[in-house]
Structure 1
Amino acid sequence: MKRFTLLTAALALSGLANFAQAKTLETVASFTVIADMVHNVGGDHVHVTALIGPNGDPHVYEPTPTDAQALKKADVVFVSGLHLEGWLDRLITASGYKGQPVVLSDGIMTRSMEEDGKKITDPHAWNSAVNGIVYVRNIIKALQKADPDNAADYKANGEKYIAQLQDMDAYARAQISAIPVAQRKVLTSHDAFGYFGDTYGVTFLSPLGFSTETEASAADVGKLINQIKQEHVSAYFFENSGDPRLVQQIAKASGAHPGGELYVESLSPADGPAATYVTMFRYNVNKLAAAMKGQ
């Protein structure tokens, strides 16, 4: 009887140990693009909560009590950084979260522009697949540090995912390089495609700056309309997370034609055309290429 009891106890302890090892890492991502990246690297070892859901706008987001609860329970918090999530410090204070968020844009060669007389850093780094790979490498390191027992899985998942992003980057270069440089000009709602434009050789014009919180003056809109006419910009796009009315007004005045909707700062719902970072990127490339070709 005693031997049976000891055996039972040993099996029970073994089961508890396996349960402890199998604990899912609770992670929080500021918005859906990052959440998808974390899911691809973490696989079954992580549970990912996106604070901002599909079609959300990170510039004007207002955190909720539910967000504070998710943050408090998190083992790791991931953000893009570069001042995109300006509401995060308040949320961290309200939640009682004691950790330091992992800033995925660390290591990015940033770009900037003048806006209202100030030099501002462009926060939309993930819109270049080259930068997306930097994000993924930062995710791998963070998950390995938080959960060293599964470090090999994070590395394997991450390298497989990076290969997909490298293919995505090559696809974008091939599609856009086939278009004459003079035709690589489009109108969008705000300056969210700067990194994409720098990487793949496309000029983007927009009435707003880097943030959807800004407002375009009548003078700025007038200058943009003249520029669109002079440079023969043929197509305009609105964004899934923004108000399309201003860009439609400019397009009507300038003669630009609708190119459709782009996904910039958030993914689509699961049944939409841009439910993952990879499908979002390829969707945007296809839309932009077709418009610049005049199709």
Structure 2
Amino acid sequence: MSHIKIILLTALLVISITTHAQAKKLIIGTTLHPYYSFVSNIVQDRAIVQSLIGDGFNPHNYRPQPEDIKRVMDLDVLVVNGIGHDEFAMEILEAAQMKGKIPVIYANKEVSLIPVAGNMDDLRIVNPHTFISVTTSIQQIYTITKALAEIDPDNADFYKKNGRKYVRKLRKLKAKYMQRIADLPDVEFRCATIHGGYDYLLQDFGLQVTAVIEPNHGLKPTANQLAKTIRKIKDLNVDVIFTEMHFPDKYVDTIHEETGIRIRHLSHLTGGSYTPEDFERGIEANMKALTDALIEALKIKDGK
């Protein structure tokens, strides 16, 4: 091969590599911490994952900030819960005049939704906390993966491979905690929750919530509601109360003092910093707390 041909081939190779390196990556916005983890594990280094709102904000009462509008204008696609947990995202899209201009992936499109169980006011409200469960999270991961593969066909196979790998990892994690209680005899386990977001998690383990203490999400119970809940918990012979980690201690302490029922903590999975590992850590901590409570309840019922 002549010297000139070698130079030309080398130049073409350099141009090809440079062009590929400079190819624009998708910028994918996410509204909640679990979705940041899901998308990060699916796309890895082939796209940029960006949270729509900053660390430390409560998505339930979040009000759009000026910087959010600028942030959403840079996105190529947005992943949302879409069933009551991130309405602020639609407000931001409207304010930025971006509604209809970027694809929105509704993670819960294929999820079988359930109402909030045991609500104090007996209201039938769809539970949007589908990300506090391995089973429903897996369905969302598949939905997100499929949509991203259609939006970014050049990386479709890569996304699908990563999605399957991540799902396998989560299934193994769930199996670990299912195994902890696999040999337990059938017992009637009654629990109350401070937060109305744990129905999908308990459903994973074949359990149901007996009562929800928080009257409506983000609202603290009135003295009358608290008294009503304490009476209900006593009447229903609740074994354990699962409290949200950031719920005011005075309400939890009052309930514990009046009922004598054990208190255990669960996480809402929508706080702290955004990381690819955040969901795995949070959901594992929740599954451990739940299985610990089941094992402890059985020992108490057996008089051990």
Matched, 1:294 2:300: no
Residue equivalent to 1:93: 94
Residue equivalent to 2:50: 49
- Segment of structure 1 superposing worse, 90-99 or 173-182: 173-182
Matched, 1:108 2:114: no
- Segment of structure 1 superposing worse, 278-287 or 45-54: 45-54
Residue equivalent to 2:212: 206
Q: Distance in 2 between matches of 1:179 and 1:268?
A: 35
TM-score of the pair, normalised by structure 1: 0.84
Residues 124, 181 of structure 1: alpha-carbon distance in 2 compared, 3 angstrom cutoff: farther
Matched, 1:83 2:84: yes
Q: Is the 8 A contact 2:269 2:283 kept in 1?
A: no
**Deviation, structure 1 residue 189:** 1.8
Match of 2:228 among 223, 229, 240: 223
Q: Aligned letter for 2:284? A: R
**Deviation, structure 1 residue 115:** 7.3
Q: Distance in 2 between matches of 1:66 and 1:240?
A: 29
Q: Distance in 2 between matches of 1:4 and 1:275?
A: 46
Q: Name structure 2 gaps, 5 residues minimum.
A: 298-304
- Segment of structure 1 superposing worse, 117-126 or 39-48: 117-126
Match of 1:158 among 123, 145, 163: 163
- Segment of structure 1 superposing worse, 221-230 or 169-178: 169-178
Q: Distance in 1 between matches of 2:121 and 2:241?
A: 24
Aligned length: 290
Look up the SS of the partner of 1:252 in the other structure.
helix
Q: Aligned letter for 2:214? A: L
**Deviation, structure 1 residue 287:** 1.3
Q: Distance in 1 between matches of 2:17 and 2:245?
A: 47
The alignment yields a C-alpha RMSD, in angstroms, of 3.1
Q: Is the 8 A contact 1:26 1:46 kept in 2?
A: yes
Q: Distance in 2 between matches of 1:270 and 1:84?
A: 17
**Deviation, structure 1 residue 218:** 3.5
TM-score of the pair, normalised by structure 2: 0.82
**Deviation, structure 1 residue 276:** 1.9
The Cα offsets for residues 246-295 of structure 1, whole Å up to 9 and x where unpaired, read as 23322222112232x32124154489xx9521221111111122233338
- Segment of structure 1 superposing worse, 39-48 or 51-60: 51-60
Residues 52, 220 of structure 1: alpha-carbon distance in 2 compared, 3 angstrom cutoff: same
Q: Aligned letter for 1:151? A: A
Q: Is the 8 A contact 1:32 1:54 kept in 2?
A: no
Residues 145, 248 of structure 1: alpha-carbon distance in 2 compared, 3 angstrom cutoff: farther
Q: Distance in 1 between matches of 2:191 and 2:239?
A: 7
Q: Is the 8 A contact 1:27 1:74 kept in 2?
A: yes
The structure having more radius of gyration, on CA atoms, is: 2
Task: Report 1 or 2 for greater relative contact order, CA contacts < 8 Å, sequence distance ≥ 6.
Answer: 2
Identity among equivalent positions (%) equals 25
Q: Is the 8 A contact 2:51 2:274 kept in 1?
A: no
**Deviation, structure 1 residue 178:** 4.5
Look up the SS of the partner of 1:126 in the other structure.
coil
Q: Distance in 1 between matches of 2:13 and 2:6?
A: 11
Residues 209, 121 of structure 1: alpha-carbon distance in 2 compared, 3 angstrom cutoff: farther
Q: Distance in 2 between matches of 1:224 and 1:282?
A: 29
**Deviation, structure 1 residue 123:** 0.3
Residues 294, 6 of structure 1: alpha-carbon distance in 2 compared, 3 angstrom cutoff: closer
Counting strand residues as a fraction of each chain, which structure ranks higher? Answer: 1
Q: Distance in 1 between matches of 2:289 and 2:167?
A: 23
Q: Distance in 1 between matches of 2:154 and 2:40?
A: 18
Q: Distance in 2 between matches of 1:55 and 1:206?
A: 25
Residues 132, 283 of structure 1: alpha-carbon distance in 2 compared, 3 angstrom cutoff: same
Q: Name structure 1 gaps, 5 residues minimum.
A: none
Q: Distance in 2 between matches of 1:172 and 1:234?
A: 20
The Cα offsets for residues 191-210 of structure 1, whole Å up to 9 and x where unpaired, read as 11111222312333321156
Q: Is the 8 A contact 2:269 2:282 kept in 1?
A: no
Matches within 5 A, 1:274-285: 276-285=278-287
Residue equivalent to 2:300: none
Residues 94, 144 of structure 1: alpha-carbon distance in 2 compared, 3 angstrom cutoff: same
The Cα offsets for residues 71-101 of structure 1, whole Å up to 9 and x where unpaired, read as 1111111111212112222111122322242
